[in-house]
A and B are shown apart, each in its own frame.
Chain A
Amino acid sequence: MGYKGKFKVWRGDASGGDLKDFEVEINEGEVVLDIIHRLQATQAPDMACRWNCKAGKCGSCSAEINGKPRLMCMTRMSTFEQDETVTVTPLRTFPVIKDLVTDVGFNYAKAREVKSFTPPKDLLPGEYRMQQIDVERSQEFRKCIECYLCQNTCHAVRDHEENKDNFSGPRYLMRVAELDMHPLDTADRKNSAQEEHGLGFCNITKCCTEVCPEHIRITDNALIPMKERVVDRKYDPLVWLGNKIRRRTSSDA
């Protein structure tokens, strides 16, 4: 059942590089990451790639496969024709370090700029009461494995390097939304979403949602509602106030 497949893998570093051709054995049930590992073990021991879980849980193995941003560990070889050449390249939006490994520091920098969860001061550990239905929205966003595929895809940074300073990208706008929708968060996040994290750069193309391996509805459930909240806020501050007051407390549980 095994066959010889053709691979092109980008090899190089910050100073340059190009696609290298490989012929490699491919067996039933394998994923692209298996093939990269086989190349390392048999033909290119120093070929750099990131991975950890091999089960779509850690978000380490992001790359572009035939030009599409994907997790290598979740891309099955059976989705390609046997005579098709599979091309693997590093994420385009981030500076390359070596081969398939890029410098994703941009994302960590943006993560640090989102104001942390701010619970009510007088609420002691163990006293938190939240209804399942109220945590579900934020829970969806907390499924994020930080693969940065959405960050890599969003044209606002992909095609506009200059926006990187002022735009946090879908993953971190979603983080702002997650905290804003957290039933017990007390911080006001509307201004910062717009002013510090560049919500306005997003023109809801949904490209981020399309590539998310966790199938998080980033645009529909995080970005658009966040935009609505910001607009509401601008036109009517009472809407925002009302939102906060309506929130469930343990006494209505």
Chain B
Amino acid sequence: MTDNTENTENAVGTKSTEPVERHSYDVVVIGAGGAGLRAAIEARHAGKRVAVISKSLFGKAHTVMAEGGAAAAMGNVNPKDNWQVHFRDTMRGGKFLNHFRMAELHAKEAPDRIWELETWGALFDRTKEGKISQRNFGGHEYPRLAHVGDRTGLELIRTLQQRVVALQQEDKASTGDYEANLRVFAETTIVRLLKDASGRIAGAVGYYRETGQFVVFEAPAVIMATGGIGRSYTVTSNSWEYTGDGHALALLAGAALVNMEFVQFHPTGMVWPPSVKGILVTESVRGDGGVLRNSEGKRFMFDYVPDVFRKQYAETEEEADRWYDDQENNRRPPELLPRDEVARSINSEVKAGRGTPNGGVFLDVSTRLPAEEIRRRLPSMYHQFKELADVDITAQPMEVGPTCHYVMGGIEVDPDTQGTVVPGLYAAGECSGGMHGSNRLGGNSLSDLLVFGRRAGLHAAEYIDGLGTAGKPAVAAADVDAALEEALAPLANADGENPYTLHHELQVTMNTLVGIIRKPEEVSEALTKLEEFKPRRTKVGAAGGRRFNPGWHVALDLRNMLIVSECVAKAALEREESRGGHTRDDHPAMSSKWRQINLICSLNEDGSGIDLKHQPIPTIRPDLLGLFEVSELQKYFTDEELTVLGDSAEPVAEAKPAGEAKPAAEPEVKSEPATESKAEAKSEPEAKPEAKTEPAPIPGQSNGEKAADTAADKVAEKSTEKSATAEAEEQTAQAEAEAQTEDAETAAEEK
């Protein structure tokens, strides 16, 4: 809740006659989803005064909707799982366009981020041994998703919310004020980032939705955690919040966006009734045994297994069905291919006339599991279909089709620090780019939020320490004035065009012309339309007053949606290949040449549109490449690129079979991030925010971490070593005790 009793004089020295509330913080986090809250918690742990800003109420951010789970190679269900396997799956899922370093950090640190949630009160579903249960999901080799039924996002956000409250209670005890060091500004929308004369971040300006009053935040560090862009599409699983604000604000402030053409269409959204079209049907339905059938009753996914995945996926229904019980000796069902593959396959089936009456395909779990089991494992899906579509999923198949779900592209960040090219500006979560390459695996977002949210908070705090006291950037009054003027324009133009109409036209344009399958002539047409929308956008009007006026809010969001849509369309037109969340009708194949290229969007000189440039993709460290078989890499890389493998690849490649890598790797996985959190912010040996240098490869050493262990790290390591080793031993012992077949059962049975 916003507290409007604060000073409301215009204290920023602007010319505008508007009353502007003003606050000063060390770190301002824009976004109160998983990434934003985790970042805020970390910055607060590092001793900073932090504000968290959110368009909706506290605890309602998009993360709340995540269903399936959070991926982390804890190895609780199948002890063969470890960070290397998770890394491999992530890179495969993203078709090797991922920033390898982010994928590496993510795979290594995710388990610690999940365990830490338990210490803050999270209650995940358990295995028989009382550990966190893990479920199967598309693209993940082993059961890996920590979950709570099908409401994992709710658990995640509630836990972080409650952690924020815990920290506020500490502050209350020590200062008498809950909000002394960590305050949530709910229902507050940021409209511009502010910089000082030398180009460093100085703060942000926004308005309280409730009153329509403006507020300026002065802060040397801002962390963007604003989520995605789905509201630019008609059929989407995303809420009204997903207007690409973070992408657009960062771009307007001089940051770059990377690979915006990659938009994930989740294969299974509801298709009927029309008013719920796009609402998500969790992938857990397939992870728990659900199958896809066309109108002829055929399990069509067997016809769509691409070459690169042939080795891992079953060829017959019998083998696929056996996999649920015995994953050692059978290959996975093709329904669990990465999302891009499944979405395209459904699209093809419908186009070929084998769709359902409402233009989808059938997703059936009713013939696969007992009714009781379905209700137990998929309670919210059961509920959702029952209440919204009159469909009983324990007795009937669901009708599903692709829905715009997630954007892989995003703000370009340093993989270790989450810093952007704008000093003081950080980004984490869905609005940042690089981690997921061309396609995100299910469950990798929730873990991404935690891993990189924490990193952003940590490094933003470090950046501030580096500034000293003298160097705090100052907000320029003229910038605030300009932002207010821009924001007030629609209200002064009450007779202008209806913003809802323009929004709808934009959605239809993106949905039909820059959707799952892209044709260059259609994307060009979309770009022409976007140019027509731009002047219309400046003339939209908002009737009514300032107080909680949704029409006005939409009018302001349109700027961001248009910017982001232009980025998506421009990049989609440029990339002449098909990969992950980008499919070109005229270039259906993946190209190793294009794999070497990141497409970078930035604001053009006069601010009227987007410039696009090619940038070479960072070279993957040989020790990480060595985790793959050369024959697999050859499907993605040019021969030239693979020559670096040379001899350094061999020894690592040998250690590859997952089972063997485990005992050696396990303590590393645990101690490395634990080291960092123990050592707290101060001693983190990572690169400075701007440093884009890659860490030197250490061939043959599987963790490939920097050798620069500080003394503090060593000490911290000692203290955590014991538990990590004990854990590893316990797991190994347990692995022996359990017959291997139990793994699969546990995955299926435990909730």
Contact = CB atoms under 8 A, between A and B. Distances in A.
B453 interface: no
Interface in B532-550: 542-545, 547-550
Given A31-B388, A56-B383, A126-B723, A40 B276 contact: no
Nearest to A75: B387
B312 interface: no
Interface string B36-54: 0000000000000000000
A50 B169 contact: no
Interface stretch (A103-111, A199-207, A217-225, A231-239): A103-111
Interface residues of A, number: 64
In terms of DSSP, what is the predominant structure of the interface of chain A?
loop
Contacts of A74: 387-388
Nearest to A185: B121
Contacts of B280: 55
B126 A52 contact: no
A139 B148 contact: yes
B169 A55 contact: no
Contacts of A126: 111-112, 115, 670, 723, 727
A58 B58 contact: no
Most buried by A among B279, B499, B750: B279
A128 interface: yes
Interface string B612-655: 00000000000000000000000000000000000000000000
A57 B148 contact: no
B551 interface: yes
A182 interface: yes
Interface stretch (A114-122, A153-161, A190-198): A114-122
A214 to B, nearest CB: 9
Interface in B237-280: 239-241, 272-276, 279-280
Interface in A83-129: 97-99, 101, 103-105, 108, 111-112, 115-117, 119, 123-129
A127 B723 contact: yes
B698 interface: no
A190 to B, nearest CB: 19
A59 B280 CA distance: 17
Interface stretch (B59-67, B94-102, B294-302): B59-67
B542 A53 contact: no
Contacts of B551: 40, 45-46
A41 B500 contact: yes
B388 A116 contact: no
Contact of B550 (A46, A179, A248): A46
Nearest to B555: A45
A129 B275 contact: no
Interface string B733-751: 0000000000000000011
Interface string A42-65: 100111111111111111100000
Given A41-B500, A116-B121, A250 B130 contact: yes
Interface in A118-171: 119, 123-132, 135, 138-139, 142-143, 145-146
Interface of A: 13, 27-31, 34, 40-42, 45-60, 74, 76, 97-99, 101, 103-105, 108, 111-112, 115-117, 119, 123-132, 135, 138-139, 142-143, 145-146, 179, 182, 248, 250, 253
8 contacts: A29-B273, A29-B274, A52-B62, A55-B65, A60-B60, A105-B1, A117-B166, A142-B155
The 5 A-B pairs of least Cβ separation, nearest first, read A29-B273, A46-B544, A45-B551, A117-B121, A129-B130
